[in-house]
């Protein structure tokens, strides 16, 4: 290894350093790049890597500000619109890429008088919810929609789901009625353009979900899991209600976590109510 010294004498390295410094002084004196090229930048300075980097950086900042103003503008209806639009786009992309999309009329069954009646009530309730000028009427219409779905569950042999839906719908209506007292009496109507955007999105999303439901009806049914639960519900879990056994025993941890989530949400609501009461009194 060469020995490190402060002075190695006159050698080739020292000569090259002196030549480099001398050429730099001569170029600075005769060419003067600061006075000539900075005032009249040429093509090479206009498209230099530094200029390109700052141009792309400014464009990214502008795009970020525009995206943030649209997606995260503090408006809850806008958040819902963006999320449903994104989900609708994914569903449409999945449907279009599925070459096995076949909808057979053989899987359809004739509607009964009871189903037609409930369907009519659902359509009327949805119309009342959309076009009513009263919050209370809209709330009642929403509760009728929930109760109609409960009845549909009963028609299709799902009384447990119907009871759960009935309980949740009743509690939700009560909470909404309490919230109505805290809202202002009147609200400004949305912009006409926003209304039509919501209408188009709702129609497209409903059509996509309808196509998916029709597609599900044509999927081959595998009864292995169903038969397993039916055969082992009583022998393994000592329960005759297969749905309850699935929720409590076979999927007990999932149900426990869902209950924990509901408890946390209830505690949060209770804390907010308690805090508001303290501020009021």
Tens digits of residue pLDDT in 193-231: 777 888 888 889 989 988 888 777 777 777 788 888 888
Predicted local confidence at residue 261, as pLDDT: 81
Predicted local confidence at residue 19, as pLDDT: 92
Is the pTM value of this prediction over 0.85?
A: no
Which of the residues in the chain have pLDDT under 50?
Answer: none
In-domain check, residue 36? yes
In-domain check, residue 198? no
Predicted local confidence at residue 225, as pLDDT: 81
In-domain check, residue 158? no
In-domain check, residue 37? yes
In-domain check, residue 201? no
Whether 176 contacts 145, CB under 8 Å: no
Predicted local confidence at residue 42, as pLDDT: 56
Predicted local confidence at residue 61, as pLDDT: 92
Domain count, the chain: 1
CA distance 279 to 270: 14
CA 58 to each of CA 70, 72, 110, 113: distance values in angstroms, whole numbers, following the listed order: 19, 20, 61, 64
In-domain check, residue 137? no
In-domain check, residue 218? no
Q: Which domain holds residue 63?
A: 1-73
In-domain check, residue 181? no
Predicted local confidence at residue 277, as pLDDT: 56
Predicted local confidence at residue 60, as pLDDT: 92
């Amino acid at each position: 290894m060469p020995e490190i010294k402060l002075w190695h004498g006159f050698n080739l390295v020292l000569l090259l350093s002196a030549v480099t410094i001398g050429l730099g002084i001569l170029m600075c004196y005769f060419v003067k790049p600061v006075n000539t090229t900075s005032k009249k930048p040429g093509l090479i300075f206009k498209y230099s890597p530094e200029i390109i980097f700052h141009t792309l950086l400014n464009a990214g900042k502008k795009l970020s500000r525009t995206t943030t103003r649209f997606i995260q503008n503090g408006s809850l209806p806008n958040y819902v619109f963006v999320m449903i639009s994104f989900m609708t786009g994914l569903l449409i992309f999945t449907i279009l890429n599925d070459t096995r999309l076949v909808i057979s009329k053989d899987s359809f069954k004739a509607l009964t008088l009871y189903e037609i009646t409930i369907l009519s009530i659902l359509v009327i309730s949805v119309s009342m919810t959309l076009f009513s000028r009263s919050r209370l009427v809209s709330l009642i219409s929403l509760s009728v929609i929930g109760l109609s779905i409960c009845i549909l569950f009963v028609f299709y042999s799902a009384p447990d789901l119907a009871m759960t839906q009935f309980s949740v719908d009743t509690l939700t209506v009560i909470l909404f009625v309490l919230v109505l007292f805290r809202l202002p009496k009147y609200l400004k109507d949305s912009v006409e353009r926003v209304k039509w955007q919501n209408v188009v999105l709702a129609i497209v999303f409903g059509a996509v979900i309808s196509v998916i439901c029709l597609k599900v009806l044509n999927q081959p049914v595998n009864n292995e899991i169903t038969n397993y639960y039916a055969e082992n519900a009583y022998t393994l879990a000592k329960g005759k209600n297969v749905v309850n056994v699935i929720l409590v025993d076979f999927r007990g941890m999932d149900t426990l976590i869902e209950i924990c989530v509901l408890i946390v949400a209830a505690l949060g609501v209770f804390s907010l109510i308690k805090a508001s009461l303290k501020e009021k009194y």
